[in-house]
Structure 1
Amino acid sequence: MPPSSPSDLSPSAPSRPPLAARLAEWLRHFWPAPLGIDGKERLRFVVGAVIGVLLTAWLSRWWAQGNGTGPWMVASLGASAVLVFGMPSSPLAQPWPVLGGSTLSALVGAVCSALIPDKALAGAVAVGLAIALMVPLRCLHPPGGAMALYVVLTSGDGWHLAAFPVLFNVVLLLIAAVVYNGLTGRRYPHPQRVTPRVATSQGAFTASDVDAALAHYNQVLDVSRADLEGLLHLAGRAAFQRTLGELRCADIMSSPPHAVEAGVSLKEAWALMRLQQIKALPVVDAQRQVIGIVTVADFMRLANLDTHEGLGQRLRTLVMGRGGQPQAVGEIMSYPVQVARSAQHAMDLVPLFSQGGHHHIPIVDDVDHLVGIITQTDLVRTLASAVQGR
């Protein structure tokens, strides 16, 4: 058998999917995703656009008839209506982008029409220049590009168009949008700045993390930064609820637990703790109901009462019951003791461990019988597993 060549021993590169599969995947990108709004929101959106455009048209026509002007409405207003009524939280739909983007673009179109004789070139330059100005002025509004091109192609008087009908139309539409969105439960204008958020231990990211992600993405997002951060926090909470929120104490507790009754000698309890390498023993009655808990700290606390001997000697004196020391578990146990139900959410124990000073939580069933115990280590291990799995 001939020896294997180095190329035979090296791992093979993953094969690319066939051309037909790649083409089909590329074509699937053209299929739109659902908008994610229900019928009620669609109806609110449609009715708002109808009312806004209709009121703007009526008032603009009335004004034009009384003043003998020419065009009384621009077509790009329909696109603006889609934004202010259908996407009132979008940065592109806020009052300043609608007002500034539309009016500025009309003026840009007028300048390009006057300076560039070729309409094709003038239209292209007008659209590009309008975008170049809208971005730094924070008034990026897609219908503004249409407005700049409209002024060039119609050879209209862009200087007058910017005042009427453009500015007049936009102001009326914005008034209608503010009133209608407010009446239908949508904030408009929508806050675009992030309010200071108090950092919490539950947060998976901070505002600076969002800023870094946006800087890395480096593209225009049709969602406000405040809404984006809010959505990310909602998604984080949903993921937390999915991975840990439904986890019960019964899922992570140590069972069956080691326990002793109150009459058990300290020597037996200490021997059991050393044998099982545990630091706490629930104390139960005859019905296995928790009446207290004894920990290594309890032994240490009592052993320190005798300051004339070493720690080892003091512990031996304590567990052997010499020198007038307590002899039974019930005499040194801590009570009452904090317990949790087996069906209780495991995350309910977080404040008990982090703020309540507890290190061991006995777990009981519906009739208060001891069924398990959870330590800080158990909970930390669960949290670590959840984080690694995300």
Structure 2
Amino acid sequence: MSFTQSDWLNFLKPNYKILPLKERLLSGFGALCGLAISSLLSWYVLGGMNAWYIAPMGASSVLLFAVPNSPLAQPWNVIVGNTLAGVIGVACVQWLPDLTTAFSVAVGLAIFVMMTTDSLHPPSGAVAITAVLGGEAVQRLGFYFVLYPVLLNSILLLLFAVFFNRLIGRHYPMTAHVNARSKDPTPTQKVSIQPKDIEYALEQHTELLDISQYDLEKIILDAQERAHGRLQNSFVCQDIMSRDVITLHENDDIHQALDKFKAVNIMSLPVVNREEKLVGTLALYEVVEWFKSATDPRNSWQHYVRQIMSRRVVTVEPLQPIQDLIPYFVEKSFNYIPVVENQRLIGMISRADMIAALQQQLSRQRL
């Protein structure tokens, strides 16, 4: 069997998902801003001292802005990994006279210590080498090299990464997918794959995977849910939604909104504009908080629903399978989810609607 040039290229290329152009541009722009801003802040913090950067910070920015979901890009790994590698590198250059021996031992020992402390961060290997081969300027700093440029620039770059990733809608740093109410598995985990199942599978593999246990679990659950959806006829959102929807207008007075909450006894209502397009939601607790702070002069300008409503709304489309809604009702305790078509609100699905639909599906399976 002969390999063509194309075959060899495909063999060498990783099985890696290529992100959309927008995500690639945002990753590059984030790294550009992160390095520039953290460098300027370093210069300011140090009172005008010449702020020089070390190459490993560029490598850290690749992880922080291109693959922030990676376990290797989390704050613990960036701060602790770079700091440990810096300490080890400085110690090796001081105690081992031969530079080849010094940087080889520094990198090997840094990898071992980082893996032992669960702080593995690939750019930290370059931090260890820089401490050894950085020249006279680095050697004069001694262990101060760990504080600056390593620790200071790591912290500044990390803080900007947190701000930037959240600004564009990414969840960073990643949080564990656990049950916030008890030590038990979440409701979905109880009837499907549980963390202990993932732990057992991972224990059978000694290789380090560049994905967190929680992300791996979510991917498996999503694939499992999609597979189940192919095996049975299911409802779509328009089949179970309520079409006679009670709404608030964005220009309603907050007192009017409270009266409507009292009349319908609902904890949250959708907010629409003049074109009947969904622009937000208002929860009863947000109205209560407004009344609590009404005497604060800083809030004296707030009189309308649009000024206190939540603009980030989870919505679904009319032809979307109802299985897509389960994580929101089960894991995140949603009470209602709006159904929109061309941004216009056409219905609402409540938790009771979901329970009725799922009960009907269970009845079908018994037949």
TM range (shorter): 0.5 to 0.7
* Aligned partner of 1:221 among 204, 209, 215: 209
Residues 1:79 and 2:59 are matched in the alignment? yes
Give the whole-Å Cα distance in 1 for the aligned partners of 2:58 and 2:357. Answer: 55
Give the whole-Å Cα distance in 1 for the aligned partners of 2:45 and 2:162. Answer: 22
Equivalent position SS for 1:96? helix
Contact 1:126-1:148 at 8 Å conserved across structures: yes
Q: 1:198, CA displacement in angstroms? A: 2.1
For residue 150 of structure 2, what is the aligned residue in structure 1? 166
For residue 159 of structure 2, what is the aligned residue in structure 1? 175
| AA at the equivalent of 2:14 | P
Note the 1:172-251 alignment, pairs <5 A: 172-192=156-176, 194-195=178-179, 196-199=185-188, 203=192, 205-245=193-233
Q: How many residues align?
A: 241
Q: 1:29, CA displacement in angstroms? A: 2.5
For residue 146 of structure 1, what is the aligned residue in structure 2? 126
How large is the Cα RMSD of the aligned pairs? 3.1
For residue 39 of structure 1, what is the aligned residue in structure 2? 21
Residues 1:127 and 2:107 are matched in the alignment? yes
Equivalent position SS for 1:135? helix
Distance 1:25 1:216, change over 3 A: farther
Contact 1:64-1:72 at 8 Å conserved across structures: no
| AA at the equivalent of 2:186 | R
| AA at the equivalent of 2:174 | H
Between 121-130 and 192-201, the greater mean CA deviation after superposition: 192-201
Note the 1:54-73 alignment, pairs <5 A: 54-64=36-46, 66-67=48-49, 72-73=52-53
Give the whole-Å Cα distance in 1 for the aligned partners of 2:158 and 2:232. Answer: 45
Give the whole-Å Cα distance in 1 for the aligned partners of 2:5 and 2:31. Answer: 39
Percentage identity across paired residues of the two chains: 36
Q: 1:199, CA displacement in angstroms? A: 4.9
Give the whole-Å Cα distance in 2 for the aligned partners of 1:237 and 1:199. Answer: 11
Contact 1:60-1:73 at 8 Å conserved across structures: no
Residues 1:48 and 2:36 are matched in the alignment? no
After superposition, what is the alpha-carbon deviation per residue over 1:71-104, rounded to whole angstroms, capped at 9, x for unaligned? 6321111111111112222111111110111111
Q: 1:169, CA displacement in angstroms? A: 0.5
Note the 1:332-371 alignment, pairs <5 A: 351-352=359-360, 354=362
Note the 1:235-314 alignment, pairs <5 A: 235-245=223-233
Distance 1:154 1:179, change over 3 A: same
Return 5+ residue gaps in structure 2 as ranges. Answer: 180-184, 236-320, 324-355
| AA at the equivalent of 2:13 | W
Contact 1:101-1:134 at 8 Å conserved across structures: yes
Q: 1:167, CA displacement in angstroms? A: 0.9
Equivalent position SS for 1:88? coil
After superposition, what is the alpha-carbon deviation per residue over 1:354-383, rounded to whole angstroms, capped at 9, x for unaligned? 5x5xxxx7xxxxxxxxxxxxx84xx6xxxx
Give the whole-Å Cα distance in 2 for the aligned partners of 1:200 and 1:187. Answer: 21
| AA at the equivalent of 1:159 | F
Between 26-35 and 87-96, the greater mean CA deviation after superposition: 26-35
Q: 1:63, CA displacement in angstroms? A: 4.3
Give the whole-Å Cα distance in 2 for the aligned partners of 1:73 and 1:81. Answer: 12
Q: 1:206, CA displacement in angstroms? A: 2.7
| AA at the equivalent of 1:106 | G
Contact 1:122-1:152 at 8 Å conserved across structures: yes
| AA at the equivalent of 2:120 | L
Give the whole-Å Cα distance in 2 for the aligned partners of 1:93 and 1:192. Answer: 15
Equivalent position SS for 1:133? helix
Give the whole-Å Cα distance in 2 for the aligned partners of 1:219 and 1:142. Answer: 16
| AA at the equivalent of 1:54 | A
Give the whole-Å Cα distance in 2 for the aligned partners of 1:24 and 1:200. Answer: 43
Contact 2:234-2:361 at 8 Å conserved across structures: no
The TM-score, its normalising length taken from structure 1, stands at 0.55
Residues 1:88 and 2:64 are matched in the alignment? no
Note the 1:92-103 alignment, pairs <5 A: 92-103=72-83
Equivalent position SS for 2:12? coil
| AA at the equivalent of 1:123 | F
The TM-score, its normalising length taken from structure 2, stands at 0.58
Q: 1:246, CA displacement in angstroms? A: 6.9
For residue 248 of structure 2, what is the aligned residue in structure 1? none
Return 5+ residue gaps in structure 1 as ranges. Answer: 1-17, 248-344, 362-374, 380-390
Distance 1:212 1:22, change over 3 A: farther
For residue 328 of structure 2, what is the aligned residue in structure 1? none
For residue 302 of structure 1, what is the aligned residue in structure 2? none
Contact 1:104-1:130 at 8 Å conserved across structures: yes
Give the whole-Å Cα distance in 1 for the aligned partners of 2:69 and 2:213. Answer: 10
Contact 2:86-2:127 at 8 Å conserved across structures: yes
| AA at the equivalent of 2:102 | A
| AA at the equivalent of 1:75 | A
Q: 1:226, CA displacement in angstroms? A: 1.1
Q: 1:141, CA displacement in angstroms? A: 0.5
Distance 1:82 1:197, change over 3 A: same
Q: 1:140, CA displacement in angstroms? A: 0.8
